[in-house]
Structure formats: structure tokens, C-alpha cells
Amino acid sequence: MNQSIVQSATGMTLIGAAPVKRKQIDMALKVAPFLVAADGGADTAVLAGHVPDVIIGDMDSVSANVLASVPAENRRQLTEQDTTDFEKSLYSIKAPFVIALGVMSGRLDHTLAALNVLVRYRKFPVIAVNDVDMCFAVPTRFRIELPVKTRLSLFPFAPVQGSANGLLWPLDDVAFAPFGKIGTSNETTLPKVEMELSNRNMLAVLPVAHLQAVITALVI
């Protein structure tokens, strides 16, 4: 294993320190079987019956007994304090895609920090998942197949413009911005949705039931 970058030919499941239900972890591992824990997320993984393949972070939240259950060569201790353990984990791994659990539940400031990372991170698709929804940065050209009347909300983290086909509320001629127009509770009107955006500063939020459709659309 590369000592600087953790690599996998399959998708990775990344568990953060916020609460995660066992069924969420089991669901994610079916499609992303390589398990990475961001610091205290290792305790959550072990409690659900899964020993992480790798632990990444400053190691200030993971319990001593869980840390000892993972071989030293499979730990990445990164002590710098300019980034969260979620971001540390992302820049330390390489995979076709990542499903991130335990980053959109728990403390609100941690959730906002995770959403900020989703917008800024560009190396591979990252899908953050909680009990109800999933969230990801929308590529500038995006096509996805979903059942008609699927909720598809859009939230800009910077000014964004675009166009779309297959959505109830059109995107054309709309100046989206975090301090202005946003796209909460849009929905699909066709089985295939197509979007073109001016940049990658838009987050999409969909029901977690459509995770496989999102993976298919993002991993091209």
C-alpha cells in the first residue's frame, strides 16, 4: 500500500465521526466495499461490525482499542489543523468515487464544513449521505436517469448559471447564488434529466434511495 495515498479500484466508503446507522454502512459497503474511517469514524465502523481498512486523521477522537485493531501501516496520522478529518481523508485517498457517511449529521458546523469540502474537491466524485438524502457537487455537464417526480434540490455555493431539461422549474436565465436564488424542491418531469452549468459550485440534493443512479451518472 502506498504510504502517502490510499488507493482502491472500487468505490470507497468513508465514515466520519457523526452518528451513522448500521444499515447505512451496510448499504454503502455493497457498492463501495473499501472502508476508510476519518478519525472517530473508526469507532462507529467497529460498533457496526466493520474494521476499517484504513484510518485517516489527527487521531484525537478514535478510541485506543479501536486504533489498536488496525495495523500501524494502515493508519495515516495527519496532525495539521487547517483541514477537517473529512478533508484530510479525501486528499489522502484515490478511488473511482467515495460515499461519505457521518459528515451530514450531528453538529451543524461540521455539516456546513463538509458541504464546503464537497464543492471544492475535484479529484473524484464524493457523495455525502445521511438517513434521508445525499448531496454532491454537480458536474458542469450532468445527465441522470430518475423516476418522474423525484425531488432534486439545487443549492449554489457561489454564483452559477445553467440550463436543464427534465425539471419542473427551469434553470434557464436564473442567476443562482447562495445569497440569492436557490433551487429547493425542484423535481423531475422526465425519466432523464440533463443539466449544463457554468461551474461546479452547485450542490444537488436527492433522496438517498437513488444512490445507484447518482453513482452511475457521476462515474463516467
The pLDDT value given to residue 3: 46
Does the pLDDT of residue 133 top 90, yes or no?
A: yes
Tell me the backbone φ, ψ of residue 107, rounded to 5 degrees.
Answer: -65, 140
The pLDDT value given to residue 10: 94
The 3-class secondary structure across 59-121, one letter per residue, is: CCCCCHHHHHCCCHHHEEECCCCCCCHHHHHHHCEECCCEEEECCCCCCHHHHHHHHHHHHHC
* pTM of this prediction exceeds 0.85: yes
Tens digits of residue pLDDT in 49-98? 888 898 887 777 777 787 777 777 777 776 676 778 888 889 888 999 99
Report the side by side order of strands in the sheet with 192-197: 141-145, 192-197, 162-165
The pLDDT value given to residue 4: 60
Contact 18, 102 (CB under 8 A): yes
Cβ-based neighbour number of residue 158 at 10 Å: 13
More confident residue, 6 or 124: 124
Cell numbers standing for residue 189: 418531469
Domains and CATH numbers, the chain: 6-131 (3.40.50.10240), 141-218 (2.60.120.320)
The distance from CA 167 to its chain's CA centroid, rounded to whole angstroms, is 23
